[in-house]
Amino acid sequence: MAVAHEQPNYMGVFWWLLALTILEIAVIYAPIAHFVIAILLIGMALTKATLVALYYMHLKFEKRTLGLIALTPLLLCVFLVFALTPDLSAVLHQSPKTEAPAEDAHH
Amino acid sequence: MSQAATLDHTLGVEPAESPLTPESWGKLGMWVFLAGDAMSFGALLAGYGALRYASADWPVPSHVLGIQLTAFMTFLLICSSVTMVKGLAAIQNGDQAGLRRFLLLTILGGVTFLGMQAFEWTHLIERGMGLSGNPFGASLFSTTFFCLTGFHGCHVFGGVVYLSCILVQASRGRYSPTNYNAVEIAALYWHFVDLVWILVFTFVYLI
């Protein structure tokens, strides 16, 4: 399964990772909406993770099988987040009126 | 070479993906393990996100946790990933001393990371954070924090032990440009630990 390939530019990837980390720290102090900050941070984190997987873990140079194995947990985690959404909506839309009788019932 | 493969070759057809070789079994095994481990971390992070989203008094992590310290810890893990790939490149080029030197640097990076995490935990526990509650807001804030960073810390500790074993073998001259599979597999694990920390750092400390 090992594939002969040229060694990637490891130091180039390192500088990208470092630059993105510094940018992440800068973004949390930026005077912009928290939602936008969260989107930017998630985007940068996924970019960094992809760089590590592709170049340091050599996924870019491996057979497709290993790439599929690596993608599987990512897809399942996205599915998990969607599966949790109805529960979260239920918690967020729980009004105090619906909670009160339940508390009374315990007493 | 089988008859079919010979026929494909003579017809100029791209051969199918080569079968597993003894050298690649370990790498495939490590990837399958990492996929399972990634799902554990994914479930923990998804659980963290769900609990935080549903909580009304979740503290702002950057106001409670030491961002500068953990940013440096992130930098340290990225550096240790670089030393790990440099070690692998060294043995691929037949540089045994280079492999030992870079492995040692990688292990030192991991040990320093663990020391800084212990310092961070001690500081936070002294400020009242515990598994069951904290003075900053939702009690689950500290519970999820310790679970996530603790689970990752266990992985770093495992990686330090793993790489130490590889270093011992490297010191005995076991690896060469034609026999470095074990180093490559250990490197996969270490990079995974770095990759997961990148996500933990963003979700637990920055957002």
Does A48 lie in the same domain as A31?
A: yes
Domain residue limits at A69: 62-91
The pLDDT mean for chain B works out to 89
Q: Give me the CATH number covering residue B177.
A: 1.20.120.80
Cα separation, B206 vs B65, in Å, equals: 9
CA distance to B88, B101, B168, B170, per residue, from B174 (Å): 14, 15, 9, 5
Cα distance from A60 to chain B (closest Cα, Å)? 13
Does A51 lie in the same domain as A17?
A: yes
Domain for residue A3, yes or no? Answer: no
Domain for residue A30, yes or no? Answer: yes
Worst-scoring range by mean pLDDT, A64-68, B44-48, B74-78, B160-164? A64-68
Cα separation, B7 vs B3, in Å, equals: 6
Count of domains forming chain B:
1
The whole-number pLDDT of residue B19 equals 56
CB contact under 8 A, B206 and A49: no
Domain for residue B9, yes or no? Answer: no
Cα separation, B74 vs A12, in Å, equals: 17
First to last CA, chain B: 55
First to last CA, chain A: 65
Does A66 lie in the same domain as A52?
A: no
Domain for residue A79, yes or no? Answer: yes
Nearest to B75 among A21, A45, A49 (CB): A21
CB contact under 8 A, B202 and A72: no
The CB density around residue B131, as the number of other CB atoms within 10 Å, is 14
Q: What is the DSSP string of B16-78?
A: PPPPP-HHHHHHHHHHHHHHHHHHHHHHHHHHHHHHHHH-SS---HHHHS-HHHHHHHHHHHH
Helices (H), B127-175: 139-171
Does A37 lie in the same domain as A13?
A: yes
The pLDDT mean for chain A works out to 82
Does A74 lie in the same domain as A37?
A: no
CB contact under 8 A, A57 and B195: yes
The whole-number pLDDT of residue B16 equals 53
Domain for residue A4, yes or no? Answer: no
Residue with more model confidence, B95 or A89 = B95
Cα distance from A97 to chain B (closest Cα, Å)? 17
Domain for residue A107, yes or no? Answer: no
Does A84 lie in the same domain as A70?
A: yes
Does A29 lie in the same domain as A50?
A: yes
Both tokens of A95, joined, read 């009004």
Domain for residue A83, yes or no? Answer: yes
**Kindly report the CA angle at A45 between A5 and A57, in degrees rounded to 5?**
20
Domain for residue B164, yes or no? Answer: yes
Does A38 lie in the same domain as A21?
A: yes
Count of domains forming chain A:
2
Does A83 lie in the same domain as A44?
A: no
pLDDT of B17 strictly over 60? no
Phi-psi region of B172 (alpha: psi -120 to 50; beta: other; left: phi over 0): alpha
Please answer whether residues B143 and B131 qualify as being in contact, where contact means their C-beta atoms are separated by less than 8 angstroms.
yes
The CB density around residue B135, as the number of other CB atoms within 10 Å, is 10
DSSP class of residue A107? -
The CB density around residue A43, as the number of other CB atoms within 10 Å, is 12
Residue with more model confidence, B91 or B24 = B91
Domain for residue B10, yes or no? Answer: no
Domain for residue B116, yes or no? Answer: yes
Handedness of CA B198, A9, A59, B109 (dihedral sign): negative
Does A53 lie in the same domain as A14?
A: yes
ipTM over 0.90: no
Q: Which of B68, B80, B202, B204 to mutate to test the interface with A (most CBs of A within 10 A)?
A: B202
Q: B149-204: per-residue pLDDT in tens?
A: 999 999 999 999 999 999 999 999 999 999 999 999 999 999 999 999 999 999 99
Domain for residue A104, yes or no? Answer: no
Question: How large is the average pLDDT for residues A51-76?
Answer: 90
Domain residue limits at B28: 23-54+67-206
Closest chain A CA to residue B74: A21
Both tokens of B204, joined, read 């637990």
Does A75 lie in the same domain as A52?
A: no
CB contact under 8 A, A76 and B39: yes
Domain for residue B4, yes or no? Answer: no
Q: A36-58: per-residue pLDDT in tens?
A: 999 999 999 999 999 999 999 99
Using CA atoms of B150, B155, B156, B158 in order, give the dihedral in degrees to the nearest 10. 130
Domain for residue A68, yes or no? Answer: yes
